[in-house]
Structure 1
Amino acid sequence: MSQVSTRLVRLLNMVPYFQANPKITFEEAALDLGVTEKQLRDDLQQLFLCGLPGYGPGDLIDFEMSGKTIEVTFSAGMDHPLRLTSPEATGILVALRALLEVPGMVDPAAARSAIAKIESAAGTATGEEDGAVVASDEPAPVENAAAAAVRSAVRNDHALTIDYYSASHDVLTTRTVDPIRVVLVGDHSYLEAWCRTAEAVRLFRFDRIVEARELDEPSAPPEPAVQAGPDTSLFDSDPSLPSATLLVHPSAAWMFDYFPLHVVRELADGACEATMTYASDAWMSRFVLGFGSGVRVLEPESLVERVRESAVAALAAYESLAAEVGG
């Protein structure tokens, strides 16, 4: 389980724990909860900001800390069974169904079970029997074996060997990584892990992990890498790199799912103008030419000229080869 998930579970259990153990000391509570006293105090500060809509006195969870002891003074309903309003249930259902579409974020069977239970409790099911609400019986999506292995390794804090396809280099590599967490960036889920080959933190997109094998050894990423939090700078435009404006034909729209492009505007015929940063004109020229007429460079002019020259050279090479074969 990721650190965020572990902390969330701990926070959800802290209010009933302190209600069951009034006037417990910080030292005793930290020992029971398996955290340091500093982490416990940080958790309590986080809980002070949680509560009911209104978010004023009498709405937020509150504790009394007298000397070395802790006592709950307002639980904000955390000691009562959860009762969702119709809009709340609908929001959770929409979120769960969206997560089902993103590989690696949740266990599909567990999510499908939760959806069925919420539908049943909220009365949003598809049928009724003898007056009772019956949840829709939808099969859980079949999870990719690689995604399941990655989730298992993250949950068990195990190292992982993956076969990973790099779109930018068009190569398949095998590497051993120490998982840190699963993160969601845009519409894609990524494994954030310490790559032993690169000796650095890397983000691996789930749909490019061809195969994954959980190892029988603990995941051991360097502590500074774990504490630093997810680094998504890869997806931000780097002002030090050149940027190209591309015209992407509808037939090549699938590239938005695989490459870091940013849509500038959509045209009436379904085409899009998009920007993309790149490291060198040579690489970007090869990249664009690979899409044929599906992608055209609009600017900068230097890249337009580079692509034009490369296309002319390629056509000349084909004509030369055709002449030799014909001769």
Structure 2
Amino acid sequence: MTPRGRPPETATQRLQRLLTMVPWLLQHPGVPVAQAAAEFGVTTQQVEQDLSLLFVCGTPGGTHAELIDAQWEDGHIYLSNADDIAAPMRLTRDEAVTLTAGLHALVASLVRPDVVERTLAKLRAASAALDGPALDLEIDDGSRHPAMGPVRTALGGHRRLHLTYWVPSRDEATERDVDPMRVLNLDGHWYLEGWCHRAQGVRMFRLDRVEAATVLPVDGTPPEGARPRDPGDEVFVPGDDDIVVVIEASPEAAWIGDYYPTESVQHRADGSALVTLRVADVALVRRLVLQLGGAARVVRPVELAARIAEEARDALRAYRTGATTGDGPGVGDGPGAG
């Protein structure tokens, strides 16, 4: 039963208590249930529920004889057959490297990462006592971005940020006031997620596109109802600065309507499709259409269509010039070949 006034306990919190409780009970055989409850800040009923759960725990894949034996009927707790669970965890070098990399990434996403940094120090010290090279990893923790410092300061002090943010689709810098919510790494890029007052919504800002970041002497608490996005979602979120692009795709290129986040897809009887999508960086569309070698073309905006057509003509002229002089690629290597 949850004590009055306390929020419901999560599964993670209970697991942490159980992992701490097992070695403590082994070191205190016969301890009264009430004393154990006081030690872990729970009720005696909760301790008995924990013991009932431990009673069906043991080594994975083991038999009934390898389960933890917990006795508490006389009001005193006796635990046995739990030495493996209570033993200190020993990591392999691969596990230590993986854990170190994860902790490095976690440091950058926390406002006060003291606990994580102490854990990293312990891992380095433990690795130094082992044979082989020490755990000294080169990991992108976001600190190379000048904006990371102001972002973390704003997060720690609940302050608003003023950003000068480059918008690739227009090749220009925009000014924005943002109430920061968190920083995270997705697909190899560091992002600030926060409430953008210009867009009046939650937006993600790539730190390598932040040209300047200033902490403002203004409260930066996001408005009620602003929620971080699920990290499993696509990074792409349509915004006011994005450009609507319409692509006509032949049957062999119609897959782009299923692969990319789209506004709409109109499938035609011959298998072709008219795909409408929003993009923040038109360079992505240019590369896609050029790589498809004529299997897709941009319909709108007409300026982008003309630019891509000119790039394709330049590439074709360069190919033909190279083929004539014998310095270019061989037959079948040029744009649209194959």
Q: TM (normalized to structure 2)? A: 0.47
Structure with more relative contact order (C-alpha pairs < 8 Å, separation 6 or more): 1
Larger radius of gyration: 2
